[in-house]
């Protein structure tokens, strides 16, 4: 069983479109995250949710809106996609103390 | 600041030891981590160390922590071709709410 699963794995879309990436974890964790990895492999946190509440929002444009319908899911919706949004987006989960964070396989988003 | 720095590349021969270094800046970090990323794959947690420890060994992996210098290292003994990957150190920051990652070190293992 996959602990943290993201869909889709690849996403190619045109500028200006709206798209969503889904994430689910079956580890019983109470905290979920979205990270962005750029073309130079730099990893930076975007959002963190604990028990469905937003606790970290790291200066991410308003076009990005995370949604957590329950503790096991954290989806990422992106409006009006831009070329610079092309990256690999990783979902992760942990308990609140983040002793161990587990990552999904990533979603490679390409905006053309 | 919250910059975590690593050298970008390391090349070793199969069977040698690899040492990957990391310098972090947040002295209040309670945990420090090493993650491995293989090409096209996600991040795999390799090991972590609590800030009150100075060494942790796990099979071929040895983590050394110098809290005074804010220096973390990962030693891989008997490096194999399957160890070729990008290695990220990370520190627990933001009051324990997030992981801040280093810039990543690309390890290449040559025959």
pLDDT tens sequence across B3-34: 789 989 999 999 999 999 999 988 888 889 99
Which of A104, A63, A11, A94 has its CA nearest to residue B98?
A: A94
On whether any CB of chain A is under 8 Å from the CB of B9, the answer is no
Q: Which of residues 27-66 of B touch A (CB under 8 A)?
A: 31, 33, 35, 37, 41-45, 48
Please state, in angstroms and rounded to a whole number, the distance separating the CA atoms of residues B111 and B6.
24
**Distance between CA atoms of residues A102 and B104, nearest Å:** 18
Pick from A59, A103, A106 the residue to mutate for testing the B interface (most B CBs within 10 Å).
A103
Return the closest-CA partner of residue A20 out of A83, A70, A85, A71.
A85
Question: Where residue B1 falls among pLDDT bands split at 50, 70, 90?
Answer: very low
To test the contact with chain B by mutation, choose from A7, A33, A41 the residue with the greatest count of B C-beta atoms within 10 A, namely A41
Q: Residues of chain A with pLDDT > 90: what percent?
A: 73
Q: Tell me the Ramachandran region of residue A79: left when phi exceeds 0, alpha when psi lies from -120 to 50, beta otherwise.
A: beta
Q: Which residue has the higher pLDDT, A49 or B20?
A: B20
Burial of A13 (0-12, 13-18, 19+ CB in 10 A): middle
- pLDDT score, position A82: 97
pLDDT surpassing 80 at residue B97: no
**Pairs of CB atoms within 8 A across A/B:** 52
> Over the stretch B43-73, which tens digit does the pLDDT of each residue have?
999 999 998 899 999 999 999 999 999 999 9
Write b or e for each residue in A55-81: b if 16 or more Cβ atoms lie within 10 A of its Cβ, otherwise e: bbeeebeeebebebeebbbbbbebeeb
Maximum Cα–Cα distance for chain A, whole Å? 39
Q: Is the pLDDT of residue B95 over 80?
A: no
Rounded to whole angstroms, the maximal C-alpha distance in chain B is: 44
Q: Report chain A residues whose CB lies below 8 A from the CB of B5.
A: none
Q: What is the pLDDT of residue A85?
A: 96
Distance of CA B14 to the CA centre of its chain: 19
B16-38 burial, b if ≥16 CB within 10 A, otherwise e? eebebbbbbebeebbbbbbbbbe
pLDDT tops 90 at residue B85:
yes
Q: How far is B110 from chain A (nearest CA, A)?
A: 22
Chain B residues within 8 A of A90 when measuring between CB atoms: 42-43
């Amino acid at each position: 069983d996959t602990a943290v699963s993201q869909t889709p794995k690849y996403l190619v879309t045109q500028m200006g479109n709206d798209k969503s990436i889904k994430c689910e974890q079956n580890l019983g964790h109470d905290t979920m995250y979205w990270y962005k990895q750029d073309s130079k492999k730099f990893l930076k946190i975007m959002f963190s949710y604990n028990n469905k509440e937003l606790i970290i929002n790291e200066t991410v444009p308003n076009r990005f809106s995370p949604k957590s319908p329950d503790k096991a899911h954290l989806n990422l919706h992106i409006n009006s996609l831009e070329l610079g949004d092309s990256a690999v987006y990783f979902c992760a989960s942990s308990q609140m103390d983040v002793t161990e964070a587990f990552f999904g396989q990533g979603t490679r988003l390409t905006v053309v | 600041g919250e910059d975590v720095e690593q050298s970008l590349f390391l090349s070793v021969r199969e069977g040698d030891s690899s040492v990957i270094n990391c310098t972090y800046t947040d002295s209040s970090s309670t945990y420090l981590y090493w993650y491995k990323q293989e090409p096209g794959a996600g991040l795999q947690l390799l090991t972590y160390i609590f800030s009150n420890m100075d060494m942790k060994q796990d099979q071929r992996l040895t983590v050394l922590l110098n809290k005074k210098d804010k220096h973390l290292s990962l030693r891989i003994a008997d490096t194999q071709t399957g160890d070729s990957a990008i290695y990220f150190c990370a520190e627990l920051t933001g009051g324990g709410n997030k992981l801040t990652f280093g810039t990543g070190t690309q390890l290449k293992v040559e025959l």
